[in-house]
Structure 1
Amino acid sequence: MKVSVILPTYNEAERIENTVNVVKRYLDDLGYDYEIIIAEDGSTDGTDEIARRLSENDSRIVHIHSDERLGRGKALTNAIKHAKGEIVAYIDVDLSTDIKHLKELFNSILEGYDVATGSRLIEGSETERPLKRDLASKVYNFLVRILLGSKLRDHQCGFKAFRRSSILPLLDKVRDNHWFWDTEILVLAQKEGLKVREFPVRWKQSEHTKVKLTKDVIYMFSQIVRMWMEQEKSKKFLISSIAISVFILVSLAYFSGFGLKDLMMVNPNLIVVSCLLYSSTFLIRGLRFEYILNKIGFKTSSIFSSEGVAISQMVNVVTPARIGDVVRAYVFKLREIPISSCISGLAVERIFDLFAVISLSLISICVLGGKTYLKTVLYATLIMFLILATIFMLSRMKNIIGKMSSEVKTALNRGFPVLILLSLLNWMMDVVTCYIISLPFNVNMFVVMLGVSIANIVKAFPITPGGIGTYEVAMTGTFVAFGLNPSNSFTIALIDHAIKNTVTLVVGYLSLAHLNVRMRDLT
């Protein structure tokens, strides 16, 4: 039986030759008919020349070269398709996993398993790495098990083997081309009913690891979310969330005495005006996000920024947990803006949203004397200041978190006046949208302002898709507290939120169409 051992390689000029020799000696000792495939992925440090020389000197060494970097996952996919062995294994070039476990990889496949993977997180394993990396790994793998339904403990150990005939049909189903490839192939293998074996290994972290902890954690988490959204489990979760929203709305309608007569009080022309007015907020949000990115150091157009905001808001309407924020990072990645910098921009946006909403709330409370809501606003203010303090402390760090926090700090320092004005304008448009709907009910403008502010503070906690249900409860309660009829209060809240969500869905869909992308392309 022939075995193929793949070495995924990028800029490994200093150690590729030694690794190949170590693997050769071990395979020679095992007595297998073998080939070693150097899956060299667009290296720029001379690795390709070394790999070419090694392959020319030994027919058992195969060099697969890419002129441009495809990503570790894509390089592995190409190598597996190219492999001649009935058993295909891959190991990291840094040999972090003890090479002696290679025999166990092969034996697992020979014993009838379709997939075998080394594990640093099950009983019997011996692992040497910093505590923070160990903790990050455990949290990551826990999320994979919970959200993606995997039964394995360690998904990212670069020490795996496959029965080639079993794994080939799955390769084109794997969407990730980088580090998440390892996890995705294991999750798909389990879902397809392949037999997977996980066994403990001895593993020591290399001093020259290419894994960038914080940056890669952000990326990997986004891929977990992407894969979760594609699964049936996520659909059930979304259905449950929608059911909660419907239950809240139906209960609120029942207890408020809501009826058709309340809806009939709102002139359709007012609804049209509100829709048009609210549509303009996406341009304001787009201008603001463009300005934020500009202060961080990235150029983009206001139209593209508006479309990116609309798409992310659209996703937030239909999913809980503000998954749209992750999607926005991928939209802006289309313009070569790093995911981490987009998240920094989002943080700035959220800070100014919170500042604007708190400001409007305080103005309303001062005018109306609504002490009942003062505590909620003060809590929100405290949270905002804690966020700011945290950002300023983290900006001193030298890693990716420090870089992102520094970007947030820079945007705050350089763009404060403009961002305040744009944020207040955006939220005043939000208030006016609701005020137009409330005109038939003669609601005080400042009551509407407070109702919209409180509803959006509550909506910030992503319990239901788009805050549907919780938004209406908060706004209805605010209006009732200031003497408005419960059924009229609920009517305003219901129509206001329906307009905003509907406009968001329409503008988001049109933005997707204009950019000629699908949600699948972004996640």
Structure 2
Amino acid sequence: MSKRWIAIIRFLFLAAFIWISVLVMADEEFRSPLLSSFEWTSLLIMTTVYTSAFLFRALAWKMFLQDQITFRSSIIGIFYSFVLNHILPIKAGDLIRAGVISMRHELSYKRSLSSVILLRGLDLMTLATFASIGAFIYGYQISVWLFFLAVLGTVALAFVAWKLQDKIGWLKQGFIHIKGLGFKYATGILSLTILSWILEGIVLYQVAQQFLSPLGYLQSVWVNSLTVAGQVFHFTPGGLGTYESVMTAVLVFIGYGMKTGYSIGLTTHLFKFLLSFLIGIGLVIWTPIPIQTIRGWIKRKGEKS
């Protein structure tokens, strides 16, 4: 598909998102819970837990690289990734995250990128596990065969990756690195990753309460897991429209009205957008990175050396 058609589809998708969002926000029943979500107590809770989730992932990354990087560099890399994923129409944030570490430490870009890819894989496995367990706990009807196919697909993918490691340098280095982590580091990394996604569920829970929703905390973790896993790839800045669509679909599936589901998804995503811009301003002041350097990291996404 040509870049022109991609641009047209992207424009139409954004236009539809803006139109629907304006219609929803024109309703007083939506505006009141929205404003309540951004009152200082609610805002403090959401900001604290959401920021803590990223700090846990930063610590997990530092542990994964066995303390070859500093916690500060890890935080800077992860926050740059978070901010740029909310600005760029594609998820290029992980490329910048890898570039930050290679720039600040004596690690090759390829080594840094491989660690990012493997940890993102762990994130997806965690989200998929939460989604599957939650479906069974809450009694939602899903196909048992579909569940086992997903498990089988994951195992098959891991097997293929293991077989191809000799042909893909960074993948082989990644497997060697994982084998050498040891029980202590491996347990710490897994625990921090799980805790980070549990914390992120509090944001959705807090927003849902403002809409007088009976959505429980564990249920919020489940819905958040499905939403994030459902928009791994996006073609609008920050997944605008995709995030709201997936969360609305999940909430409608468990019995919410479409308008309520969309309102909760829109408010949750709005908070994440606002926080990303505030963090972005802080990064520019605290530790700026030239635009040309960032562009260079994105262009190196296909690098083999």
CA 426–455 in structure 1, closer or farther in 2 if over 3 Å, else same: same
> Which structure is higher in RCO with an 8 Å CA cutoff and minimum separation 6?
2
- The correspondence for 1:390, drawn from 155, 160, 178, is 160
CA contact (8 A) 2:58 2:74 kept: yes
The offset of 1:240, in angstroms, is 6.2
CA distance in 2, matches of 1:454, 1:253: 25
Q: Give the match for residue 265 of structure 1.
A: 33
CA distance in 1, matches of 2:18, 2:145: 26
Residue 55 of structure 2 aligns to which amino acid in structure 1? L
CA contact (8 A) 1:312 1:324 kept: yes
- The correspondence for 1:400, drawn from 152, 162, 169, is 169
Tell me, yes or no, if structure 1 residue 422 matches structure 2 residue 192.
yes
CA distance in 2, matches of 1:443, 1:327: 36
CA 375–425 in structure 1, closer or farther in 2 if over 3 Å, else same: farther
CA contact (8 A) 1:316 1:323 kept: yes
Q: Give the match for residue 107 of structure 2.
A: 337
Tell me, yes or no, if structure 1 residue 359 matches structure 2 residue 138.
no
Tell me, yes or no, if structure 1 residue 437 matches structure 2 residue 207.
yes
CA 408–251 in structure 1, closer or farther in 2 if over 3 Å, else same: farther
CA contact (8 A) 1:391 1:405 kept: no
CA distance in 2, matches of 1:500, 1:377: 31
CA distance in 2, matches of 1:250, 1:372: 33
The offset of 1:305, in angstroms, is 0.1
Provide the aligned length of Structure 1 versus Structure 2: 286
Q: Per the alignment, in what secondary structure is the counterpart of residue 256 of structure 2?
A: coil
CA distance in 1, matches of 2:281, 2:180: 30
CA distance in 2, matches of 1:246, 1:384: 36
TM-score, normalised with respect to structure 2? 0.81
Q: Give the match for residue 315 of structure 1.
A: 84
CA distance in 1, matches of 2:182, 2:60: 15
Q: Give the match for residue 303 of structure 2.
A: none
The offset of 1:438, in angstroms, is 0.8
CA distance in 1, matches of 2:62, 2:202: 24
CA 241–436 in structure 1, closer or farther in 2 if over 3 Å, else same: same
The offset of 1:478, in angstroms, is 1.2
Tell me, yes or no, if structure 1 residue 306 matches structure 2 residue 75.
yes
Q: Give the match for residue 255 of structure 2.
A: 483
CA contact (8 A) 2:111 2:170 kept: no
Q: Give the match for residue 239 of structure 2.
A: 467
CA distance in 2, matches of 1:456, 1:374: 22
The offset of 1:482, in angstroms, is 1.6
Q: Give the match for residue 156 of structure 1.
A: none
1:271-329: per-residue Cα shift (whole Å, max 9, x none)? 342123212222111111111122xxx61111210110110121111223321122122
TM-score, normalised with respect to structure 1? 0.49
CA 508–243 in structure 1, closer or farther in 2 if over 3 Å, else same: farther
The offset of 1:463, in angstroms, is 3.2
Residue 200 of structure 2 aligns to which amino acid in structure 1? D
CA contact (8 A) 1:285 1:426 kept: yes
CA distance in 1, matches of 2:259, 2:291: 38
1:186-224: per-residue Cα shift (whole Å, max 9, x none)? xxxxxxxxxxxxxxxxxxxxxxxxxxxxxxxxxxxxxxx
For structure 2, the 5+ residue unaligned runs are 297-305
Q: Per the alignment, in what secondary structure is the counterpart of residue 86 of structure 2?
A: helix
CA distance in 2, matches of 1:327, 1:487: 36
For structure 1, the 5+ residue unaligned runs are 1-145, 148-232
Identity across the alignment (%): 19
The offset of 1:390, in angstroms, is 2.9
The offset of 1:363, in angstroms, is 2.5
CA distance in 1, matches of 2:278, 2:153: 33
Q: Give the match for residue 244 of structure 1.
A: 13
**RMSD, matched Cα:** 3.1
Q: Per the alignment, in what secondary structure is the counterpart of residue 442 of structure 1?
A: coil
Q: Give the match for residue 58 of structure 2.
A: 286
Residue 324 of structure 1 aligns to which amino acid in structure 2? G
